[in-house]
Structure formats: C-alpha cells, structure tokens
Structure 1
Amino acid sequence: MKLVILAGGFGTRISEESESKPKPMIEIGQKPILWHIMKYFSNFGVEEFIICAGYRAYQIKEYFFNYHLHNSDLVVSLKDGKIETMHTQAENWKVTVIDTGLNTMTGGRIKRIEPYLGSDERFLLTYGDGLGDVNIRDLIKQHMEDKVLATVTAVQPPTRFGNLEIAQANRVRQFVEKPDTSSFVSGGFFVLHRDVINLIEDDTTVWEQEPLVKLASQNELSAYKHHGFWQPMDTLREQRYLEALWNEGQAPWQVW
C-alpha cells in the first residue's frame, strides 16, 4: 500500500520552529520527523509515499529533490564545477510531494491526492507530526479481517500531569507521575479503502469530523487498539522529548 502523509498544517503550537519551516521538517536527531515516519513505515515494506504539503511546501519539495545530495559524500572540482557523489545512503523510496493548498483542511488534502493513488483499492494514512511503534502489519491484517472501509489506530496517551489521590484531612494518599488515561483517542495510523474519499465534500472538509463521524454511524470504522509507544509533536516540549529518546538510543520507533 502507498502511505499518504498529511503534512500541510501551519504548526502554530510549535511556532518556535514552524515559523521558518513546516512542522514535518522539524528535526529529531538531524533528520526531519517526516523522514522518521517514512523510515518506520518502510520497515513494513512501504516504499511509495504521497505527501500532502501546504505550508512552506517548497521546503519539503527541495528536501527530497536534493535528497541524494544530502545523503552522499562529495568530490567537487572547483576548476570545472564537476561534482562526484560517493558513499550514497539513500532509501529505495518513490516520493510524491503534492501542494494541496495553504488553507485546505485535512479531508480536502486527502481528496486532492486521489489521482495519485493509481488503481490501488486501499491506502495507509498518517500525520506528519507523530511517531509510534504501531505494528503496521497487524493493523492491515485487522483492517482486512474486519471488512470495513476504515480502520483507525486507537491509543491511550499518558497525561501531561501527575494524578493526586486525596484522602481525608487533605492528605495525598497516592501520587502517580504520568498515569495512563483509561479512554482511547485517535492516534492516526489509518488503513482506508479509497471509497472513503467519496465522503469528503471539498477543501473545507475536516477529515476528523464529518467523514469519520459518518463512517462510525455506518458501522464502517474499526479501531486497532495500540498499547505501545505513541507520541505526537505538537509543542517544543514534545519535540525535545522525542529528541532525547533518539539521542539516548531509546527511540521505540527506531526499528531499522
């Protein structure tokens, strides 16, 4: 399956970085988070990617246009300008970058890339700002077994704040630093039948609203429960957390 990546938002909550680059190009370990996402999916055999760009789309295009150069050693002849590349470390990926508009909503971005799906009946979808160790193979397997139009990965993210259990006389009986929540939220990592695109009206459609609500009401949305690592990168604090995991060699998504 091809992987479609939603990478067009403004990233306003991490403006310290996104003022100069699109959020998917913010780096973790000197590589954009977009690269980390693609590298993770490629471990499950995904080699074709469709990136739904928007805000500062040209930076994403330039990154992949010069990817071979970025990942090679160079010998430059200053006299005649000839360039020889050596020791290239490039993945066997086919990357399609589509400018889906500056103000297009998430659903509209999906609708815009439909022609690039080719004849594929199903495709994968994720966001360009989140990492996890979701078993993509099992996710696809459940989707096929459930025989639905859409499957979403359900996660239980840790809360940002510690829980206090308060007894009588204002005494704290128990403190849990980062307890898991009991409810599930959407972690992205979708498997979709291309018919879901028929539920998207136009550029103003938000994928997480009308289309998913309708799929659920039609009993065509299943949930793949993931109890492992999952972390969005919405803030600078979360970027630094992911960076620390990478630098310490403890990144759960690093399976290559």
Structure 2
Amino acid sequence: MKNIENLKLQTHSTIKEALTIIDHGALQIALVVDENDKLLGTITDGDIRRGLLKGLDLNSSVESIVYTTPTIATLSNTKEEILKLALSKKLHQIPIITAEGKVVGLQEIEELIKPKIKTNKVVLMVGGLGTRLRPLTKDVPKPMLQVGNKPILETIVEKFAEYGYVNIVMCVNYKSHVIQDYFGDGTKFGVNIEYILEERRMGTAGALSLLEEKPTEPFFVMNGDLLTNVNFEHLHDYHISNNGVGTMCVREYDFQVPYGVVNINESKILSIVEKPVHKFFVSAGIYMLSPAVLEYIPENEFFDMPTLFETLISKNKNTVSFPLREYWLDIGRIEEYNKANEEYDEVF
C-alpha cells in the first residue's frame, strides 16, 4: 500500500489544498479524514471541477465536494478480492481501512497486477513430525501432504510469491530430504529457497537462532501446516504502521459449554447461564518480527513463539495483534486434512 500521510485533508481544508495534493502527487486523489483518521470520503480532480462549476472558489472548504461513499477495502481483504472489486468499478486505487474505519493506506491496482519483488525474508517452520496425522505422515513430512493436488507447502510458497515475497528460508527436520528434493533452490517456483537443518527440535522461535544471515528488516515466520489466503502485504504494512516489534496473527475461537453454568458466591447461587459461549483470540501461527527480537532468542535452545512474545511483553516491547478474518485452516488432524481437500478448489 502507498503511504497516505501526504494525501490527508480535513473537511475545513480548502479546495486549493486539495488541488495541491492531487496535482503534485502521482495518485491523483485526496483522502478526507476526521481528527482520528477515520475516512470521511475522497476527492478527485473531477470532484473539484464539479465544485468550481457550482460557483465554489479555491478558498472554499472541501466539505461540499467530498465524495462520501467511496469504494473501500479492509486489511482483511485478500489481493484477489481487492483486484476484483477495483476492476468491477474501473478504479485505479482503493483506500484501505481498519475495522474501525481508520484509513491506513491506499492500494494501487497496478501494484496488485504486477507485484513488486520485496527483500523481506519468509521463514517457514516445516520440521514437525505430524504425529496426529499418522499414517499419512509415515513417509512424508506434514507440510508435504497433498491438498488440492499439490503439497500444502507449495501453496504457502505460491501465496507469498504472489505478494512479491520470494526470499524463503525453510527450517527442516523430519524427512527433510523430501522437502529439499521437491523444492530445490526454489527456481522452478519463482522464489529463492535456503534450508536450515534443525539437528534437534528448536521450537518455532528457537530455530531463528540458527539463521546464518540475520535479517536486517522485518521478516515473516509461519508454520508450514497452515492454509490461508491472508494478504501478506497488509500484514507487513500493519506491522510497520503500528511500530511493532512482533506482530502475531490471531484468530477468534469460541466454544460452547454444553451445560447450564451456575455462578456462585460461597453457597449462594448468583445466576445461571444456559450453555454460554466463550470467545477467545488464539495464535494463528503467522508472525511478522522486527530484527530486534533476535537478541531475545537464546542460542541452541528450545524456544517457542509464545515464550518469545511473553519475553517481549515483559520487556515492554510493542507487541501487536493482527486479527485474521480470511480463510485459515491449521491442518493438525485427519479431520482438518479432509476439510482442506474439500474446500481447496473453492478457496484457492
């Protein structure tokens, strides 16, 4: 997404200020926001010309020419959804907002069609044993199980490449040769792949201590047994705009207690709630980390990602959550594996 700080106006801004933004910027649009950066509307050259024809002058407020119902997308929209929306309405750019309506960027459609290659690393944790998926994982590691007529890991690689993230590190262990023989150096998949062999299990964060070349810019970490169509570019932008040291994708999870829950104080019954639903946010196994986190990861020790985030929190570092509303499936059991195969064609 494009940075929008120099595109913002407020309703008391003048038409002359709007013209300056539109004429001197390459995006040919101004974004009108309130004091909390909530998007109120947009202004284009056409809006200004129509205002001038109605008798407004350059010192008039933009309030009466703001287009208050622009087409927008949210951080949870995938690349495909944004592109489809833009093409259907013949738009060259779409404002991106948060769930609360705060504008955080402007997506140029040209960039979606021709994604820019990015240098940020993608670290994929693909060394798991897949015990709960036996006997399917007897001869192959879990990320290499076929879903949609291709390995799970291939879909993950393709999705990152779709957004221009082509520098991939795979942390391998169990049946590592199967992965390495299939992907090689990544050339045939349009990416660059390096491998880190975990001699022993290091955990989702501990394996990062084995990186030969330490990242100098924010990097992704993702479990290799997930299927998702999350917009990785939006996750990247969100991490940057929130000044995050560590950003964790989270997923809403709920379960229903199958009984009436009795709330008591000593022996007195205070209330009875019939089959209540409890909701939580759980880690989705996808992260974006800044290089500074590496100093908190011990060398050659088992260290998982929750422990890393707990450490960062204890050090008052800025840890951020990125709620996922896109398709997401953790393939940990036979049931999820079967579900993934049933849904793959529709989703991907």
TM bucket (normalised to shorter chain) is: 0.7 to 0.9
Which one-letter code corresponds to 1:227 in the other structure? R
- Number of the residue aligned with 2:147: 28
Counterpart-to-counterpart distance in 1, 2:224 and 2:319: 22
* Residues 65-123 of structure 1: per-residue CA shift (max 9 Å, x gap): 3977xxxxxxxxxxxxxxxxxxxxx331111122122433222211112x234x53221
Superposed displacement of residue 139, structure 1: 1.1
1:16 alignment partner, SS class: coil
1:213 aligns with 2:310: yes
- Number of the residue aligned with 2:221: 125
- Number of the residue aligned with 2:293: 196
Alignment of 1:1-256 (within 5 A): 1-65=120-184, 90-113=188-211, 115-117=212-214, 120-157=216-253, 182-217=279-314, 218-246=316-344, 249-251=345-347, 254=348
Is 2:235–2:288's contact at 8 Å kept on the other side of the alignment? Answer: yes
Is 1:200–1:207's contact at 8 Å kept on the other side of the alignment? Answer: no
Which one-letter code corresponds to 2:249 in the other structure? T
Higher relative contact order (CA 8 A, sep 6+): 1
Q: CA RMSD in A?
A: 2.6
Moved over 3 A (4+): 162-167
Counterpart-to-counterpart distance in 1, 2:247 and 2:320: 5
Counterpart-to-counterpart distance in 1, 2:309 and 2:162: 28
Superposed displacement of residue 158, structure 1: 6.2
Counterpart-to-counterpart distance in 1, 2:254 and 2:152: 21
Is 2:185–2:194's contact at 8 Å kept on the other side of the alignment? Answer: no
Superposed displacement of residue 47, structure 1: 1.0
Larger radius of gyration: 2
Q: What are the ranges of 5 or more consecutive residues in structure 1 without an aligned counterpart?
A: 69-89, 168-173
Q: Percent same amino acid at aligned positions?
A: 22
TM-score normalized by structure 2? 0.57
Aligned length: 216
